[in-house]
Amino acid sequence: MDLLGFGDLLLSGTWVTVKLALTSLVFGLILGLLGATAKLSRFWPARALATLYTTLIRGIPELLLVLTIYFGGSMILMAIAEQFGYTDYIEISAFAAGVAALSIAFGAYSTEVFRGAIQAIPKGQWESAQALGMTPLKTFFRIILPQVWRLALPGLGNLFQVLLKDTALVSVVGLNDLMRQAYVATGSTNQPFTFYMAAALIYLGLTVLSTGMTAWLERRANPADRRAAA
């Protein structure tokens, strides 16, 4: 891939995009699991907080979230640091702001996916675990969570596709991702269509790759279905 000598630049941007997507995925999954646990908790303030989180985040554009965290985040951090006597200027990198915004968004949507998956597990399994003398925490980690993975996988796969495409938004605050590098290449060659089309095709390749990965994971997680299909 040469593209008038800008192929390497686009590839380096692709790598940043992939890193951003995977890092946000990890934090987003943690947020989602926490959110789902809070939503199913018997403690009502936890439920209320989780509902507030998912309703707010799902109603606000991801771009607005990226901009707020990038421009407002350093203000909040400085205000907190000031309480501890640190008065220097703090700046948030575009990558960190991107990870924060994208994982918060991913967490809000995956909360619902995880909640659905946890609720889909028959209540009898909780009861039999209790009958065996397991604590609720132990039941969750040993019985429920391993099955949640299988049930949540299709939903999470879709969300990851959305996340992958949303990484392009972080280019707006100056992260050197694929989108940004296409923009840079456009600036010095004056061939916007060529470079944005190249970027689009790379994104398309990434989404195809992630669809394939999800299908593979789904097959691995469902030995019973696999046998039925064979």
- Residues in the site for another protein, rule: CB under 8 A? 56, 59-64, 67-68, 71-72, 75-76, 78-79, 82, 165-169, 171-172, 179, 182-183, 186, 190-194, 196-197, 199-200, 203-204, 207-208
Task: Supply the minimum distance, in Å, between the C-beta of residue 133 and another protein.
Answer: 44
C-beta separation of 104 from 65 below 8 A: yes
Type of residue numbered 77: L
Total Cβ atoms within 10 A of residue 26 = 12
Q: Which one, 37 or 191, has the nearer CB to another protein? A: 191
Task: Supply the minimum distance, in Å, between the C-beta of residue 146 and another protein.
Answer: 30
Residue with tokens 């901009």: 67
C-beta separation of 135 from 81 below 8 A: no
Q: Which one, 11 or 63, has the nearer CB to another protein? A: 63
Euclidean distance between CA atoms 102 and 108, whole angstroms: 10
Q: Which one, 111 or 167, has the nearer CB to another protein? A: 167
Task: Supply the minimum distance, in Å, between the C-beta of residue 167 and another protein.
Answer: 8
Task: Supply the minimum distance, in Å, between the C-beta of residue 204 and another protein.
Answer: 4
Q: Which one, 24 or 171, has the nearer CB to another protein? A: 171
CA distances from 20 to 53, 85, 167, 179, 199 (A): 22, 32, 7, 13, 16
